[in-house]
Structure 1
Amino acid sequence: MAPIEIPRGQASYKKREGIITLTQDKTALIWSPLPGTGPPVISLSVSNITNLQQTPKTNPKVVLRVVEKPKAPGADPAAYPFQFTHATEARNEADAIKDLLSQIIAELRGDDPSLPKPAKSGPNGAGASAAMAMASAVNSKHLPFRWFEDDMLKADVELQQSLMKKDKALAHIYNDAKLSKPDSLSDASFNSQFWATRISLLRAYAIELNQKKGSYNVLSTIKPRTENGELKLNINHEQVQLIFQQHPLVKRIYNENVPKLTESEFWSRFFLSRLSKKLRGERITDNDNTDPLFDKYLEADNTMAVPAKITATSVPPIINIEGNEENQGGFRGGNLKDVEMRPRANIPIIKTLNSLSEKIMANVAPTDVDPSAASYSKDGIADALSKQLALQDLRGDAEAQLIRLSVKDTSTFFTGNQPSLTDQEAADARLYATQVPSDVLFEVQADMDTLDSDGRGGIDLHRSIGVDPDSDDEGNSLDSKSGPKPQHVGSRAALRFAQNQILESMKSARSHLTTHGSHTNASEERPMSLPTDIAHRATLTCATTAEFLKQFWTVFNSSDNSPEKQQELAYLADSLVRSKQRIEALAEEAEKRRQEIMEKRKREIREYYQKTGRKAKWVPVGGGRDAVWAVFEGVVGGLERAVAVWEMVKGGRV
């Protein structure tokens, strides 16, 4: 057999013309600048190639993108785009090089147990398509282990755009935040900050996109039907391939009788035969049509030595259960099986469905195998499995792998509302600092033990703090001096104040979901009686502001004090100031709309009075400035606190 000629082609790399080909031993892909006789500038080992991408035939530009696996752990994969520049043979040259690379990659990965084995080449060239399928599997092999990392997800712009097309609410938040960002903040920094808090969404969406439909019981989905006395059967190429994979017997019958029979005649007779009912797991009756072609295969075996991913992996002897039967010299029977467990010739559904399920599951790759790691040691036992099965009881406790946390003390940033200490309080603080806690506790315990025996009859704790529980006074205090009376814990005034505060919170939360006031028109049931467009803008503004707050505190609480982080923190603080300005503008617009609605209702009342002579009842108009500030009450508090902390840091008061 003559050796395969190594293809070569004219291709440019980084706008520099050259020649791309493979070495004579087919171990490396090389590119040399024109005329192509010098040493190669780029040399990529075929074993390190992880992905091959080529522009579709509809694209006039012919580009072959070769991705090489990272040279160091944690590094990004290197991509080499080669544009083929031949005037007439560019597409053919690219196809030839890609096909040869795919075939070599398939051969290199042929021993990998986690990948399906290619079928042997037949006279019709079926092996070539199997090799291409293998290369595609190799190209996507490292996907779950590399492409789902945080850095790769944050850099995948196409994935982010696709997610925002699917999630319109997320797209609105992104666009609003991008329009509101400071001009000094670059788009790259904004994207990095925005998606850093949404890595879980990107990862879940990437996994969803890479999930593919698995094998299924294809015979049960094909139902022939009769229309006007003619048999109608809809079957496509994919379903035929699945039938051949799941039922090798059908494939054997097909190869023996086609083209003696036409394709349509073969499948029409098959789906009306008893063999089809048996393979579907249905009961065969005497009234079923007989077909001499298929009936002679009713007792034939429907199994073949089909290569499977799970069976290709050698099982270590220590857990090989089937090996016990081999070592014992055959099956050892016991008592006779129950009557319900005995096989029946006329009810093959359980056996058929179980056999089909085994075939489908046999070609599912196991989820506990890491293709990037060495599968087995020299003894034939999986390295990870041998570690799990090793006796661990005599070993010492493993040293805990702790993670060092760098925590910044931020307690001083949230004491701005507390009054400064007076001279007396400062003196008391210094006095308390010099006392020994154990001595103080001993003296207090001694006083508590002698309360009953010191002649004073104990201590009235309520009276000691100025509370008289028997008094009906609103202040509930013994202090008769003028001025506001302090609220003591447990007093009636404190309980009443707490009750009122809880009720006010419930009213505020309820007003966010329904209208306030006495108007009960169903069309007016909007949050805080705000117009629909204002309420929608308020929702987006709230989400955008919360995003800026999250980014600000994430950067602020990080342990990185580099100048770049300080500059980024200043940008985010400026964004917080602008966020409050947007809330103020939204409140003013809501108030303007409220005034317009009030004027409209006043005109309606006057017109009604002129027509009927009766005064219409005035319905209070909700919404407006107060409603917007009520909605943003918590967010505004967070903005003010964050801006105050930033001012303290910028002023050097921290």
Structure 2
Amino acid sequence: MSSAMDIPKGRASYKKKDGILTLTDDRTFLIWSPMPANGPPTVSLALDKILNLKQTPDTSPKVILKIIEKPKNPDEQEGQSFMFQFTSPTDARTEANALRDLLSQLLAEIRGGDPNVPKPLGAAGGPSAAGGPPPNAKPPSNRWYDDDSLKADTQLQQSLLDKDLELAKTHAQALALKSDSISDESFNKQFWSSRVGLLRAHAFEQHQKKGSYNVLSTVKPRAENGEFKLSLSPEQIQSILHQHPLVRRIYNENVPKLSEPEFWSRFFLSKLAKQLRGERITDVDNSDPLFDRYLGADNSLGVASKITAAQHVPHIIDLEGNEENQGGFKSGNRKDAEMRPRANIPIIKTLNSLSEKIMADVAPADLEPSGTPESGAKSFDDARVFNQLSLQDLHGEREAGSIRLNVKDQTKFFSNHGDGISGEDAQIYAQQNPEDVLFEVVADLDTFDDDGAGGIDLRKSIGVDDDSESDHYEDATMSGIQKTPHVGSRAARRAAEQQILEGLRKARAEHAGGPTGANAVEASPMGIPPDLTERCYLTQMTTTEFLKQFWSAFLSSSSSGDSSEGGSAAAAAAAAAGELAYHVESLKRCVERIEAIAAEAERDRLRAAEARKKQIQEHYQKTGKKLKWVPPKGGRDSVMALFEHTTAAIEKAVALYRGSRG
């Protein structure tokens, strides 16, 4: 319930200053901001660092919430305490109770995953008394990696359809053409079963969030009419104070002694701002005694990493471990051979320090129960990370783990393979002796001319003579003598050339049917009008979708028909037969839609031809000159050429379905 509600907040005083006490949006920090609560928070407590919380009883006139932080020193029993007194004149107790209840629930969830918290004795064994899973059970796998969850997520599917208009058109047309016997749920399951990859990629894209960035590098004062102007939002101020603990400390020490506009205007004109940006400080920069004294101060105090606090960092990616092994930042005990200062080292340190703070603020999303520092399973975590980071393409080929099968009678597995050979050919093949056939083939190869490099000269072997002016085959054909055609004859080569050119012309016409530029190539293939071209594209996509559904149902029914037993076999066969009949009927309707588009394209071509003839006649009557007649492209033949492979696939599917029915 609490996760779906708004985060509560209340008016509370801290150290006799009025402010607002609430939680961050991600519910990981308890923050208190002084009134009017439009600036950065002064108190920020991580929930995983809270040891305990106490509240005054309901009978007490004062409503005080006491937060006890975990001790930083292991020898201490308790850490620092924070006292917040709720000061609302009407709802002080209600606001305090709401915050206390939410904090108690969040702390219980955090402690439930903490291995340092003692567990009940029953938790070490089987399931709990409530019937839940054992505490050591691994969390369920992310739904993004589960195909069934993606296919059942209608909200994700609708979001993808809203983004991809072409896919939405295909889905809408296929849904409109489906049979009434197929429910919408079954249709969507079949439709998205072949697009699980698109759903997974869209889910990843939706859950990506914009991370932190270097705010100081984006905020720079500008000069207008001799005055400096600075545009700074509250979100940017909060990010600056979060990324730079030094600025937060200076802000707490000097505000409200200085007004916020004066503080930030002086800060962005100071040398400290340039140093924190990673820029080089020069002698002409403005001097500010308030900020100049902090130029050598540490800017990393109070920064807690969400990565190292959540789990053990494997040694394979632990950069701090490399620093320890190589002697730290100043190369350990090695002497400085150059003995001169390096001006770029502070800049590099500043940029690296800022990068570390930004990365440390990103909570890892792939936590494992065995990856925490207290779990003692560092070796397993290192192996897991190594497997994730290793490049699979660089691995050698794995040996196939196949199982050797010893089949005694193999004839039944190949009983249907001889159906495609006619009876006469089978008798001829049966009379052939393999040794004699191989001997004749080798003898024929020995008669071929050698190319001088140990190979065969195919041009001379098939009788190609480029110097000859005529072919005996052509002369014999003209004289009426029937002669076996020669492979290397001029006529055979000319026929092969014509066949290749015809294929090239057909392929070019499919992609460039119009006479105009590149825009007309895609809009009007083979001279088909653009409106009919769009219908052809949609029909092609829907027909392909119906073909996918047919083959999925056909192959699944044929594979599951033998595995069914008892009374379930008849029910499964009846359901599969009904589904296949629906898919076959859908394929027949697809052919009818293709025929309808082809008929309309033919009518448009005839109208264009009549208009062209009329134009030629009018031009001849006016000028007395005849224009060249160029027949318009498009028509039925062009549409059927576009759908040539599609119609062949439909015919094969229907024929196979009829053959399976006997």
TM-score (ref. length: structure 2)? 0.64
| Structure 2 residue aligned with 1:546 | 544
Between the aligned partners of 2:475 and 2:157, the Cα distance in structure 1 is: 60
Residue 233 of structure 2 is aligned to residue 233 of structure 1: no
Residue 598 of structure 2 is aligned to residue 587 of structure 1: yes
Between the aligned partners of 1:157 and 1:272, the Cα distance in structure 2 is: 53
Residue 623 of structure 1: SS of its match in structure 2?
Answer: coil
| Structure 1 residue aligned with 2:220 | 223
Structure 2 counterpart of 1:579, which letter?
C
Residue 631 of structure 2 is aligned to residue 630 of structure 1: no
Structure 1 counterpart of 2:263, which letter?
F
| Structure 1 residue aligned with 2:9 | none
Between the aligned partners of 2:156 and 2:313, the Cα distance in structure 1 is: 39
Structure 2 counterpart of 1:527, which letter?
P
Encode CA deviations 1:561-586: one digit per residue, 9 max, x unaligned.
34344433322222111111110000
Q: 1:263 to 1:636 in 2, by over 3 A?
A: same
Q: Which of 555, 558, 561 is the matching residue for 1:557?
A: 555
Q: Pairwise CA RMSD of aligned residues?
A: 4.8
C-alpha displacement at 1:328, in angstroms? 11
Between the aligned partners of 1:506 and 1:604, the Cα distance in structure 2 is: 33
| Structure 1 residue aligned with 2:654 | 643
C-alpha displacement at 1:259, in angstroms? 2.0
Structure 2 counterpart of 1:307, which letter?
A
Between the aligned partners of 2:583 and 2:108, the Cα distance in structure 1 is: 49
Between the aligned partners of 1:622 and 1:449, the Cα distance in structure 2 is: 53
Native 8 Å contact 1:529 1:623 kept in 2: yes
| Unpaired stretches in structure 1, ≥5 consecutive residues | 1-5, 10-90, 114-140, 391-397, 462-466
Between the aligned partners of 1:522 and 1:207, the Cα distance in structure 2 is: 36
Q: Please list, as runs of the form range in 1=range in 2, the aligned pairs for 1:337-486 lying within 5 A after superposition.
A: 337-338=337-338, 342-344=341-343, 348-365=346-363, 369-371=366-368, 375=372, 379-385=376-382, 421-422=422-423, 424-428=424-428, 440-441=434-435, 472-473=472-473
Between the aligned partners of 1:605 and 1:357, the Cα distance in structure 2 is: 75
| Structure 2 residue aligned with 1:17 | none
Structure 2 counterpart of 1:560, which letter?
S
Encode CA deviations 1:109-131: one digit per residue, 9 max, x unaligned.
67499xxxxxxxxxxxxxxxxxx
Residue 315 of structure 2 is aligned to residue 314 of structure 1: no
Between the aligned partners of 1:595 and 1:604, the Cα distance in structure 2 is: 14
Range that drifts further, 263-272 or 203-212: 263-272
Residue 575 of structure 2 is aligned to residue 577 of structure 1: no
Encode CA deviations 1:172-228: one digit per residue, 9 max, x unaligned.
121222222233222222211111111111111111111111121110011222333
Native 8 Å contact 1:587 1:624 kept in 2: yes
Q: 1:348 to 1:325 in 2, by over 3 A?
A: closer
Q: Please list, as runs of the form range in 1=range in 2, the aligned pairs for 1:509-548 lying within 5 A after superposition.
A: 509-515=507-513, 526-548=524-546
Between the aligned partners of 1:412 and 1:501, the Cα distance in structure 2 is: 38
Residue 541 of structure 1: SS of its match in structure 2?
Answer: helix
C-alpha displacement at 1:625, in angstroms? 0.7
Native 8 Å contact 1:215 1:360 kept in 2: yes
Encode CA deviations 1:363-405: one digit per residue, 9 max, x unaligned.
34567x5436665785452424368999xxxxxxx9977799x
Residue 260 of structure 2 is aligned to residue 263 of structure 1: yes
Native 8 Å contact 2:274 2:280 kept in 1: yes
Q: 1:510 to 1:415 in 2, by over 3 A?
A: farther
Between the aligned partners of 2:108 and 2:334, the Cα distance in structure 1 is: 51
Q: Which of 178, 195, 210 is the matching residue for 1:181?
A: 178
Residue 618 of structure 2 is aligned to residue 615 of structure 1: no
Range that drifts further, 260-269 or 631-640: 260-269
Residue 599 of structure 1: SS of its match in structure 2?
Answer: helix
Structure 1 counterpart of 2:279, which letter?
E
Between the aligned partners of 1:184 and 1:257, the Cα distance in structure 2 is: 75
| Structure 2 residue aligned with 1:600 | 611
> Identity across aligned pairs (percent)?
48
C-alpha displacement at 1:613, in angstroms? 4.0
Native 8 Å contact 1:375 1:383 kept in 2: no
Residue 283 of structure 1: SS of its match in structure 2?
Answer: coil
| Structure 2 residue aligned with 1:107 | 110
Residue 334 of structure 2 is aligned to residue 334 of structure 1: yes
Q: Please list, as runs of the form range in 1=range in 2, the aligned pairs for 1:110-125 lying within 5 A after superposition.
A: 111=114
Q: 1:290 to 1:192 in 2, by over 3 A?
A: same
Structure 2 counterpart of 1:145, which letter?
N
Q: Please list, as runs of the form range in 1=range in 2, the aligned pairs for 1:481-496 lying within 5 A after superposition.
A: 495-496=493-494
Native 8 Å contact 1:375 1:382 kept in 2: no
Q: 1:468 to 1:566 in 2, by over 3 A?
A: same
Range that drifts further, 443-452 or 568-577: 443-452
C-alpha displacement at 1:520, in angstroms? 6.1
Q: 1:193 to 1:318 in 2, by over 3 A?
A: closer
Residue 165 of structure 2 is aligned to residue 154 of structure 1: no
Between the aligned partners of 1:376 and 1:399, the Cα distance in structure 2 is: 38
| Structure 1 residue aligned with 2:188 | 191
Between the aligned partners of 2:275 and 2:285, the Cα distance in structure 1 is: 11
Q: Please list, as runs of the form range in 1=range in 2, the aligned pairs for 1:241-280 lying within 5 A after superposition.
A: 241-280=238-277
C-alpha displacement at 1:491, in angstroms? 6.7
C-alpha displacement at 1:469, in angstroms? 7.1
Encode CA deviations 1:33-62: one digit per residue, 9 max, x unaligned.
xxxxxxxxxxxxxxxxxxxxxxxxxxxxxx
Residue 202 of structure 2 is aligned to residue 205 of structure 1: yes
Native 8 Å contact 2:370 2:381 kept in 1: no
C-alpha displacement at 1:497, in angstroms? 4.2
Between the aligned partners of 1:174 and 1:578, the Cα distance in structure 2 is: 17
Between the aligned partners of 1:503 and 1:459, the Cα distance in structure 2 is: 30
Residue 219 of structure 1: SS of its match in structure 2?
Answer: coil
Between the aligned partners of 1:522 and 1:291, the Cα distance in structure 2 is: 64
Instruction: Work out the number of aligned pairs and report it.
Output: 500
Native 8 Å contact 2:463 2:488 kept in 1: no
C-alpha displacement at 1:347, in angstroms? 6.9
Structure 2 counterpart of 1:103, which letter?
L
| Structure 2 residue aligned with 1:82 | none
Structure 1 counterpart of 2:660, which letter?
V
C-alpha displacement at 1:317, in angstroms? 8.2
C-alpha displacement at 1:627, in angstroms? 0.9
Structure 1 counterpart of 2:205, which letter?
E
Q: 1:421 to 1:401 in 2, by over 3 A?
A: closer
Residue 223 of structure 2: SS of its match in structure 1?
Answer: strand
Between the aligned partners of 2:106 and 2:601, the Cα distance in structure 1 is: 67
Q: 1:351 to 1:527 in 2, by over 3 A?
A: same
C-alpha displacement at 1:548, in angstroms? 1.8
Range that drifts further, 632-641 or 594-603: 594-603
Native 8 Å contact 2:511 2:526 kept in 1: yes
Residue 228 of structure 2: SS of its match in structure 1?
Answer: strand
Q: 1:205 to 1:350 in 2, by over 3 A?
A: same
Between the aligned partners of 2:497 and 2:379, the Cα distance in structure 1 is: 66
Residue 173 of structure 2: SS of its match in structure 1?
Answer: helix
Residue 142 of structure 2: SS of its match in structure 1?
Answer: helix
| Unpaired stretches in structure 2, ≥5 consecutive residues | 6-93, 117-137, 388-397, 405-411, 450-455, 457-461, 466-470, 562-571
RCO comparison, higher one (Cα < 8 Å, 6+): 1
Native 8 Å contact 2:144 2:150 kept in 1: yes
Between the aligned partners of 1:491 and 1:97, the Cα distance in structure 2 is: 97
Between the aligned partners of 1:357 and 1:167, the Cα distance in structure 2 is: 36
Structure 2 counterpart of 1:574, which letter?
E
